[in-house]
Chains A and B, each alone.
Chain A
Amino acid sequence: MTLRAENISLHLSGFDLLRNVSVQVEAGEVTAIVGPNGAGKSSLLRVLTGELAPTKGAVSFNQRDLNDWPVEQRAQMLAVLPQHSLLNFPFTAHEVVALGRIPHQTGTLKDAEIIDQALQLVDAEYLQKRFYTQMSGGEKQRVQLARVLAQVWLPCKEGEQILVLDEPTAAFDLAHQQLTLEIVRQLAEKGVGVVMVLHDLNLAARCADKLVVFDGGLVAAQGTPEEVLTEQLIDQVFGVKAMISRHPLTNKPLVIT
């Protein structure tokens, strides 16, 4: 139980955004959060990362209350990729990724090596000297992905590491969507816990060990993709008639609409 939210409720400016939500994110596993727009997915991420304090319930991280961790130590174990970035200063890609090494004291040489590898991993080494402000949306998001990867590149002594991604594939073309999911799987094999919001149910089914389906601030279902993805659930949550089949190669559930 690396990152665990227990009976979370979130009440914000007159709205119940989350009601009695319990979610666990394990190290070495990929957890995907799916659900319609406004179902509370991003709110849950914000609670899990300590950006919003829940009205009720608590979040524990590596056997401690999330807020008991000193900010710097927490940053060594928990990296977060937001949906949009506000950065509008002309950093180069290399400099942006270097920001991900701020919580660590590994030295400039080691950091430079990690930064190069992270950029290479997300297929962005050609951007190294380019200015962030002049990149396309997908390029920007890849550089940001490299930044959070660099943040959890090396294992941490203090505890298990978690990477939180809010719609990481939204700005990507097909090839880079695939690449992102491969990176996420590799990361999980290295022992990092990954939790991400995804909109594409098939991508989620292919990549995740566990699916959490949100609807109206409640958890509608959670479990393996095979358990969760049923025609009835998709009709109930999304209001869409769909057929569940099997992917011919991976044998994972395939949602056909």
Chain B
Amino acid sequence: MRRISSAWLIAILAILLPVIVLYSMTVGTVSISMAEAFSAAVDRLFSSTDSIGQTQVILFDIRLPRILLALLVGAILASTGAVMQGLFRNPLADPSLIGVSGGASVGASLMIVLASGAVESGLLMGLSLVALGAFFGGFAATILVYRLATSGIGTSVTTMLLAGIAIGALAGALNSLLSYFADNDMLRQISLWQMGNLSAANWAKVWIMALVSLLLLVSFPRDSRALNALLLGESEARHLGIDVQRVKRRLIVLTALGVGVSVALAGMVGFVGLVIPHVIRLLIGPDHRWLIPGSAMAGAILLVVADSLARVVVLPAELPTGILTALLGAPFFIALLLQQRREV
């Protein structure tokens, strides 16, 4: 398959992203035209704060934080996916392989079952107990997987993949066990959480996610050449002057942090981390200097589009976003695979 120029792709995505964000502002249960949105924005910026109308509340307290959260979560899931695929030298790897998602879902389910009364009250700047449970569950699972795979001579990528699968299976079993003991209401909460949902977005969540995203997207470029070298194999990367163990540890911790916070704030949004980097790699090749930013932008676009659709397809209700990312992304991915098969 022929490649397109990386600079072109990045430029196209950079133009597309703000357009899609703006359009997404107008989409929802209450439809607001572009002109209304614009005048509301002008009002918000230049007039006194006491004249806040319903349109403004919908736009700036409900939709904008939700869109920004979708954008950031999509960017983080896709860029960490690209990093994990490079680190594991496996185009089928995704962040869930290191145990983050499995651990996070156990943590979340545990919180839903144990503290069902307190869950809905909302604590700690809008971060619910479920989010905290998910974050610590994800982080603990990653550290466990990492420890299992690390011996005196370094971290074995193969052992880490296997340990990730084992911890994932264990997490699945614990999850089923918790679901078994849960009552109907908890069960519905657990399954809704696992489908991924951005409807509970607020500005506090956006700020937390923004800080984490900033940290990750500033750190990743530093290691993109190291990731390129790692595709040759670990000892080859070492012979190219890469401190492999250090790079690995840094990238795993950053990924666990990014995915842990994403899952905590937005639930399980599958597919983005696996497929977006794959698609971008098919388009521009495996050079991580372009692959990581390209994936971040494409992931942001996919999640914003999926979330906009989630708000309107079953009006007046909403679909969980995770269902739509897969529904949108899978056919596109299959089309790309078919095209690649024809050309090889």
Contact = CB atoms under 8 A, between A and B. Distances in A.
A100 B240 contact: yes
Contact of A99 (B89, B229, B235, B281): B229
Interface string B230-265: 011101101111110000000000000000000000
Contact of A75 (B91, B240, B344): B240
B43 interface: no
A114 to B, nearest CB: 15
Interface string A74-112: 111011101001111111100110011011000000000
A85 B236 contact: yes
Contacts, number: 66
B241 A74 contact: yes
A76 B89 contact: no
B4 to A, nearest CB: 14
B137 interface: no
A72 interface: yes
B233 A86 contact: yes
Interface residues of A, number: 29
Interface in A19-40: none
B239 A87 contact: no
B241 A103 contact: yes
Contacts of A49: 239
Interface string A197-224: 0000000000000000000000000000
A161 interface: no
A74 B237 CA distance: 12
Contact of A80 (B91, B236, B285): B236
Interface residues of B, number: 21
A175 B10 CA distance: 43
Contacts of B222: none
Contacts of A79: 239
Given A86-B89, A88-B89, A102-B225, A71 B232 contact: no
A87 B231 contact: yes
Contact of A91 (B225, B231, B242): B231
Contacts of A151: 240
B318 interface: no
Nearest to A73: B241
Interface of A: 49-51, 71-76, 78-80, 82, 85-92, 95-96, 99-100, 102-103, 134, 151
7 tightest A-B CB contacts, nearest first: A75-B241, A103-B241, A72-B241, A89-B286, A86-B233, A80-B239, A102-B240
